[in-house]
Structure 1
Amino acid sequence: MKQFYNRTISFFNVIESKIAFYPTVLALLGFIFAMVMLFLENRGISKYLIEHMPILVVDNGDTAMTILSALISGLISVVVFSFSMVMLLLSQASSNYSPRLLPGLISDRRHQVILGVYLFTILYCIFVLFSIQPTGDKYQIPGFSVLLGIIATVICIYAFIYFIHNISQSIQISNILQKIFETAKRRLHELIDKEEHDLSEFPNTDDWYEYHSENSGYLQNISFTNLVEICEKEDTQLHILPIKGIFILNGIPLFKSKKELDENTVNRVLSNFNFAREELVSDNYTLAFKQITEIIVKAMSPGINDPGTAINGIDYLTELLGIRMQKKDTNKIKRNDNVYIKMNTVDFEDLIYNIMASIRTYCKHDIIIVQKLLLMFHYLKKQQSEESSYRDVLNKEAANLIKDAEESIKNQVDIERVKKLASTFNLKFQN
């Protein structure tokens, strides 16, 4: 039952990020609401209102049909325009910033809900329109349902105004960076809060029994609660080999077990690994570093040449790296003082190397960006660090940056300014 619940939650998390999820749900609700209102009409709700509050009810069949037809036509035009705006947003974000931003923009609930409100109202008006009998008397006309359709259309108009405002904000790079940063920051703090500060060594797993993946895709979520229960029941320990968030190919080693497991137990373990075909920052914080790095690199490319955006991206990278320094490179899952699971994570050294390798390639010639990066290293060295080796990594990457800058910057005044900042790290240019 727990495994079924875990798979259901994982499936919901995947489809929730699809752009058609909320529109589909709300469109279905629109159909259901139309059926409910038609049922109430058959019970005489419009008849009652005509007798007590006639101002709220449309009592002419031709008028009701004309109103609903106009509402449906107008709303379909609004839907087409709104979907066109969404596609334009995605196209501009992909070409100007990074294609990796698309899953995050598509999963924006506000856009999905607004499009869903449109579809809700359209389907509602269509089915109410079908129920109108132009030749019937005023007591047979679903007047109150028509009124609700008019009110829903007014709500759609205000939703459209908000949609225009929101989409104009979403395309701004500062807001994109802020959203990526907030999501990654929240995810990092969650991991740090759950991290077990256990000093005991995990056994060497070289001679453990190895089991392979039966699926392919990005390793998105793992149900550690279920895995710990399996470990307790089978009296074993697990070592999860791939780093969460990377693409797993079918048949590669997925985990190791201290004890040999039967086929049924292996299948139960594998059922707690969730794979997806796209990456989300909310599931994998390292993706935020990739996205921000790609935005910086794209901003410094000759075709765009936007140092201001690159500087903003470095500011967000600096704060995220400061938070990452509070997290250990290894992750252990324990219960009742017993360590059951070890999971490989992205080393801080590999993380910052991959970031700086890309940035150095495109930014080493720009004195402003080089100064900003050196200030980033200066800030990070002063932050609280979970492991002392992190500061050695910062010194190493700062030295690499200075070496590349020396080879790329030709102006002597600029070189002297970089040397002055480099003295903060006790590093010198190579002559």
Structure 2
Amino acid sequence: MKNYIYSIWDSLEKLESKIAFYPSIISLLGLMFAFFMIYLESIGISKYLVENAPILVVNNTETARSLLTTFIGGLISIMVFSFSLVMILLNQASSNFSPRVLPGLISNRRHQIILGIYNATLLYCIFTLVSITPQGDKYQMPGFSVLIGIIFMTLSLGSFIYFIHSISQEIQVNTIMDKIFKKSKSRLERLVENEKHIDTDFEDSSNWKSIMANSTGYMQDVSINALAHIAEQHDLKIEIVPIKGAYILNGIPVLRYKGQPSENKEPDSVEDLEKKLLEAITFSNSELIEDNYILAFKQITEIALKAMSPGINDPGTCINAIDYLTELFAIRMTKKDRSYYFDEDGKPLILIKTVSFDELLYNVMAALRTYAKHDIIVVQKLFIMFEYLLQQQDALRENYKEAIIREIINLKNDAISNHTNEADIKVIKSYIAKLKNLNPSDYSFEA
């Protein structure tokens, strides 16, 4: 039962990132409130207010109809304009920065709430207008409901002004990178905090039973809570074979486990067990930084590469991207290359494979060296990044230091081979000399 609860909870978290989630919820609330006001009008709330507080009631039928009709037409125009701005934002972000940033922009909660306010107000005004019905030679006048509609429309206009301000900020590359950085930093810090700071030897899993993927797609997320519950229930040890975010082909192993189902189970319980284990993995065609911090490195790197393309030629944005990457790498250095889930007794139940620091640094630097090695300003910034990372003595494990030095050598070789100006070469060599002073003599910066 807990396994299904965890799966439902994870599904709700994914649903929250969809652009239509909050607008749908708020629209439903607006519709329910409209019916609630119709009920209050049916028991005479407007009649009571006319007698006791007439200022709170619009008591002219033509005025009420004109106001509500104007509100409905204006709200439709505002919604069309707002959705158009969102589409322009997404198109520009995809063209100028990276298509990978789109899920983060679509899941912007503030924009979703604003669009929901528009739609809720529109539905409220429509049903309030419909509730003005004739009774003999008179009309049933929902005067108080019309006043509420005026308040909702004022709120919608304020939301529209805020939406224009927000969308103008969201389209700026620094804002996009800052949001990516903060989400990734939060995810990384949470992983580091939850990580057991003890050395653990996990068993060799090469002979364990394998569970094959039954679908194709990116491994978006794994419900660790659901896997842990099954592992504790059946006394299993589990290894997650692929790295989160990897593209999974049908029929390749995604999980390995050691152990047998608990006693008093049905004969086909092994198949049931493997089915439950596989249900804990979510496959998707999109990724979120909240689920996979590696995506932030990809997105910021792609923004930097796009900025260095001949069509855009914006080295300033590339330098800003390197600043964000520097801090993210420094945080990543505080995390181990292998992650585990521990039970209450401190025993490792689940081995979670992650991208090693060495591989992550190489992938980022391989792309930056390819497209930015000709720009001496960007090269200097990369050397400054390495200098900062080598100074993080508390997090600088030996294998991390070796990976950094390898990339310094690669950057030096590419930079020198792509610069013929003596002044540029002198700058490169001066940074190499500075970096040598940060390391013991047994490390060489020669290829």
Q: Identify whether the pair has TM-score above 0.5, normalized to the shorter chain.
A: yes
Equivalent residue of 1:219, what SS? strand
Equivalent residue of 1:199, what SS? coil
Residues 327, 86 of structure 1: alpha-carbon distance in 2 compared, 3 angstrom cutoff: same
List aligned pairs for 1:250-265, cutoff 5 A: 250-259=250-259, 262-265=270-273
What residue in structure 1 maps to residue 279 of structure 2?
271
CA distance in 1, matches of 2:346, 2:303: 43
Equivalent residue of 1:340, what SS? strand
Deviations 1:172-217 (A, max 9, x none): 1111111011000000000001111232311111111111122333
Give, in angstroms, the shift of residue 138 of structure 1: 7.4
Give, in angstroms, the shift of residue 59 of structure 1: 1.3
Q: Which amino acid aligns with 2:298?
A: K
Matched, 1:35 2:44: no
What residue in structure 1 maps to residue 300 of structure 2?
292
Q: Which amino acid aligns with 1:385?
A: A
Give, in angstroms, the shift of residue 140 of structure 1: 2.4
8 Å Cα contact 1:222/1:274 also seen in 2: yes
CA distance in 2, matches of 1:389, 1:99: 33
Give, in angstroms, the shift of residue 343 of structure 1: 1.2
Residues 382, 25 of structure 1: alpha-carbon distance in 2 compared, 3 angstrom cutoff: same
List aligned pairs for 1:61-72, cutoff 5 A: 61-72=61-72
CA distance in 1, matches of 2:271, 2:245: 26
Q: Which amino acid aligns with 2:253?
A: P
**Unaligned stretches of 5+ residues in structure 1:** none
Matched, 1:172 2:180: no
**Alignment equivalent of 2:431, drawn from 411, 421, 425:** 421
Equivalent residue of 1:176, what SS? helix
Matched, 1:377 2:363: no
Greater displacement, 221-230 / 95-104: 221-230
8 Å Cα contact 2:45/2:144 also seen in 1: yes
Greater displacement, 297-306 / 380-389: 380-389
Aligned residues: 430
Give, in angstroms, the shift of residue 139 of structure 1: 8.0
**Unaligned stretches of 5+ residues in structure 2:** 262-269, 437-443
What residue in structure 2 maps to residue 229 of structure 1?
229
Identity, in percent, stands at 50
CA distance in 1, matches of 2:37, 2:138: 17
8 Å Cα contact 2:212/2:255 also seen in 1: yes
Deviations 1:231-272 (A, max 9, x none): 233222111101112222222101111235611111121222
What residue in structure 2 maps to residue 403 of structure 1?
413
**Alignment equivalent of 1:320, drawn from 325, 328, 331:** 328
Residues 10, 276 of structure 1: alpha-carbon distance in 2 compared, 3 angstrom cutoff: farther
What residue in structure 2 maps to residue 143 of structure 1?
143
Q: Which amino acid aligns with 1:270?
A: L
8 Å Cα contact 2:177/2:300 also seen in 1: yes
CA distance in 1, matches of 2:80, 2:43: 36
What residue in structure 1 maps to residue 192 of structure 2?
192
CA distance in 1, matches of 2:39, 2:237: 59
What residue in structure 1 maps to residue 75 of structure 2?
75
CA distance in 1, matches of 2:413, 2:34: 69
Q: Which amino acid aligns with 1:351?
A: L
Deviations 1:153-178 (A, max 9, x none): 00000100000000000011111111
Equivalent residue of 1:343, what SS? strand
Matched, 1:159 2:159: yes
**Alignment equivalent of 2:355, drawn from 343, 346, 357:** 346
Deviations 1:352-387 (A, max 9, x none): 111001101110000000000001001001113263
CA distance in 2, matches of 1:137, 1:59: 16
CA distance in 2, matches of 1:317, 1:137: 73
What residue in structure 2 maps to residue 5 of structure 1?
5
Residues 137, 286 of structure 1: alpha-carbon distance in 2 compared, 3 angstrom cutoff: farther
8 Å Cα contact 2:220/2:245 also seen in 1: yes
Taking only aligned residues, the RMSD between alpha carbons, in angstroms, comes to: 1.6
What residue in structure 2 maps to residue 311 of structure 1?
319
What residue in structure 1 maps to residue 46 of structure 2?
46
8 Å Cα contact 2:7/2:223 also seen in 1: no
Greater displacement, 180-189 / 10-19: 10-19
Give, in angstroms, the shift of residue 2 of structure 1: 1.4
Give, in angstroms, the shift of residue 127 of structure 1: 0.6
8 Å Cα contact 2:3/2:229 also seen in 1: no
Equivalent residue of 1:78, what SS? helix
What residue in structure 2 maps to residue 126 of structure 1?
126
Deviations 1:395-429 (A, max 9, x none): 00011011001111111110011100011233667
Give, in angstroms, the shift of residue 109 of structure 1: 0.5
8 Å Cα contact 2:408/2:445 also seen in 1: no
CA distance in 2, matches of 1:306, 1:294: 13
Equivalent residue of 1:165, what SS? helix
**Alignment equivalent of 1:412, drawn from 380, 399, 422:** 422
8 Å Cα contact 1:406/1:429 also seen in 2: no
What residue in structure 2 maps to residue 393 of structure 1?
403
What residue in structure 1 maps to residue 441 of structure 2?
none
CA distance in 2, matches of 1:136, 1:95: 61
Q: Which amino acid aligns with 1:399?
A: I
8 Å Cα contact 1:218/1:278 also seen in 2: yes
Runs of 4+ in 1 over 4 A off after TM superposition: 134-139, 427-430
